[in-house]
Each structure stands twice: as C-alpha cells, then as structure tokens.
Amino acid sequence: MRFFTIAFFTIISTVFLAYGQTSQQDTLDPYGFVTKYDTGFNGIGPKVYILPLPRTLKDEMIDTYKEIQSFQDSIRLGFQYQRLLSTFKHTTNHQIIGKVLPDTISTQEYSRLLQQFVDQKNHAVLYAFYNSKAENDLHDHNTEEAVNALYTALSHAQAARNELDIAIIQSNLASIFLITNRLQEALTLETLYLDHTNKTKNLAEQAASNTRIALIQAYGKDYKAAENTVIRKAIPLFNKSKFYEGKIEAWIILAEIYRSQNKHTEAQWFLIQARDLAKEKSYSEKLAMIEYMLGSSKMIQANYKVAKNELEFAWKLAEESSNKFLQLAIAEQLGRSYVYLKDYELAKSFLEQYWILRNNLFSKNITSIL
C-alpha cells in the first residue's frame, strides 16, 4: 500500500510538473518557435530569448521599396546621361574619319596617321576626329576626357574657320556641362549655338536649341524663364518648321519643368498634349516615356490605381525599347504602385526586374561620374 501511494504521488507530481512547464512555455513563447527552455537558469541575462515573428512578404516589400527610394536620383541622372548620348551632334565632315582613320588598321598605324594630320595642320580631319573621340569617351563614361577632346576639336574647328562645326562642338560641350552642373558655361555655349541657327535661319534647330536652353534654366531653378522659353520661343518655332518629334520632346521637357516645381496637374496637361501628338504622328518611341511620366506623377498624387494602369502600359511599350534607364525607372515605380495596392507578389516580381536592370546599368559606377 505504501509503495502504491508513493507511485501515485510521483505520477501526479510529474503530470503537474509537465503541465507547469508546458504552461510556462506557452507563456514564454506564444509563437511556438522555441521548444526547449532552461527554466532553472539563474545567470546573467534574460531567462529566455523570445524570437520575433518571421518577416512576411508584405514587410519585406514595404521595407525594400523604402530602401531603394533614395536611388531614384541616380536613375534620373543616368537617364539624363543617356539623353545626352542620344542628342550628341556629329560634325558635318564626320564621315571622313572612317576613310582616313579606318578601324581595320593597327593601333601603331592609327597613331602615326593621326600625328601626320597634326604635322600637316589638317584641322578639318582633326576636329572631326576629336569630336568623334568625345562621343566614344561619353559612351565609356569618361566625361572629363570628353570635355578635353571637345576643347581640342573646338580649337581645330576655329583654325579651320568652319562656323557650323564650331557651333556644333560648342553645343556638345554645353550638353556635357549641363549634366555635370556647370550651368553658366552650358548656357553660354548653347546660346552661341542658338546665335548660329538664327544666322542660318534654321527654324528646327532654333527650336531645339531653345528647348535645351530651357532645360539649362530649369536645372538652375529659373523655372519661369524656362517655361517662357519653351512656350513662347520653342513651340512656335516647332510649329513653323513642322518638326513634330522635337515638339513632343519640348512638351516632355516642359512637363519636367512643372514636375520639378511639384505642379503635377500642369505637368500632366502638357504630357497629354505630347501623348496626343505622338499618337497622331506615330512616334511610338516617345509614348513609353510619356506614359511613365504620367504614371509617376499620379503616384506622387497618391492616385495609385490610375498610376498602376499608366505604368503597366509604359512597361509594355518600354520592353521593346533600348532605353534601359527608362525600363529601370518604370520597374521601380510600377513595383511601388503594387506595394501601395497590396499586391506584394507582383511587387516582388518587378523588384527582381529592378535589380537585374540596376546591376547591369550601374556596374560602371555611373553615379560617381555624374
């Protein structure tokens, strides 16, 4: 009987002890992640470490899109750099380079021929060569070398007294100074190019030059002057010359000027004008940029559903484009719109697209160059 009583109390004690530990474990770890505790621990530190809940896809997407938001400025600078490359002007005798300095010859022979042109003071070949070299330097993201090459080209063009090519080289210098924030130099040089177009009465080039001047003014935060330059000078000249592609670009730049002032309603109005004209004249390559800017503007106004629709259309158009910076900007904004609309799977999908494009485009540390 005594043995039975001892055994009974032993079983009861074990049950209560187990229950007590389970109850304590439930209290200590409501999430159920930790399976063992040393309840008798009496050393330094907490008696038990409570593990946090794992991050959900929602948490991950919200946090990651916050982290990458600061990189938007680098994307914008990269896009401006690409715009510079797309508008770089060749001299009137650009074709001569391939004839007198063909790529098929050896490096040594190439250098020998170049020195020969220097010795002969063949300024026409030399300014064409150095202007072309500057373009190659820009493709390699060597802006300082490009500037040096253009100054050399300018000195030879001035020696050759070719006014048109002098103006072209000055405009190329102005574009580089714009993206490197040497705004006064940029404005001076682009104004010289505009003066030349006024002399030759080239209406389309006058309009395009005024648009570039407006961009320089906007970068210097002289927004009112920039608006007037586009509306009162560039647009009427585009209309007279019937240079519709340039007019579309002018509308886009005007929208950029208003966006810089957080005037998104005005920016959207000009973007719609650009979109209508692009559709009318079948300039599909401009539509992706316009749709992106419309969607991005709607994002700032917290109109996420409309922004998503605009950005989805922009993405479809941009997928066929070679403009990878535009694709990167759209992927970032479209993914962000999905976060706001709580579609975290699609947000994750575009985040993957974003990182592929970003790692590819910024492998050469473009931000430090700009």
In which residue are the tokens 């999905």 written? 338
Query: Residue 98: pLDDT band by 50, 70, 90 thresholds?
Result: confident
Name the pLDDT band for 83 (thresholds 50, 70, 90): confident
pLDDT, position 283: 86
Residue 200 has a pLDDT of: 93
pLDDT tens-digit series, residues 223-235: 999 999 999 999 9
CA-CA distance, 348 to 330, in Å (whole number)?
Answer: 14
What per-residue confidence (pLDDT) applies to 82?
87
pLDDT at 103: 82
* pTM for this prediction: 0.81
Task: State how far the Cα of 266 lies from the Cα of 255, in Å rounded to an integer.
Answer: 7
Average pLDDT, the chain: 87
The answer to whether residue 364 scores a pLDDT higher than 70 is no
Percent of the chain with pLDDT over 70: 84
pLDDT band at 369 (very low <50, low <70, confident <90, very high): very low
Mean pLDDT in residue range 168-193:
96
Q: What is the pLDDT of residues 266-283, one digit of tens each?
A: 999 999 999 999 999 988
Is the confidence at residue 97, as pLDDT, over 70?
A: yes
pLDDT value of residue 21: 45
Give the contacts of 214 (CB within 8 A, at least 6 positions apart).
Answer: 225, 226, 227, 229, 230, 234, 253, 254, 257
User: What integer pLDDT is reported at residue 161 of this predicted model?
Assistant: 94
Ramachandran angles phi, psi of 172, nearest 5°: -60, -40
From CA 231, how far away is CA 335, in angstroms rounded?
34
The rounded distance, in Å, linking the Cα atoms of 310 and 139 is 31
As a whole number of angstroms, the distance between CA 291 and CA 288 comes to 5
Three-state secondary-structure class, residue 19 = helix
- Within its chain, how far is the Cα of 253 from the centroid? 15
CA dist., res. 31 & res. 225, Å (int): 62
Residue 4 pLDDT class (50, 70, 90 cuts): very low
Q: Does the pLDDT value for residue 18 go beyond 50? A: no
Residue 36: which pLDDT band, with cuts at 50, 70 and 90?
low
Q: What is the pLDDT of residue 148?
A: 96
Alpha-carbon distance values, 118 to 70, 114, 121 (Å): 48, 6, 5
- Pair 28, 51: CB distance under 8 Å: no
Is residue 29 pLDDT above 70, yes or no? no
Residue predicted with more confidence, 273 or 369? 273
Span 303-360, pLDDT tens digits: 999 999 999 999 999 988 888 999 999 999 999 999 999 999 999 999 999 999 999 9
Q: Is the pLDDT of residue 28 over 70?
A: no
Query: pLDDT at position 199, please?
Result: 94
Query: Binning pLDDT at 50, 70 and 90, where does residue 48 land?
Result: low
The Cα 344–Cα 321 span in angstroms is: 27
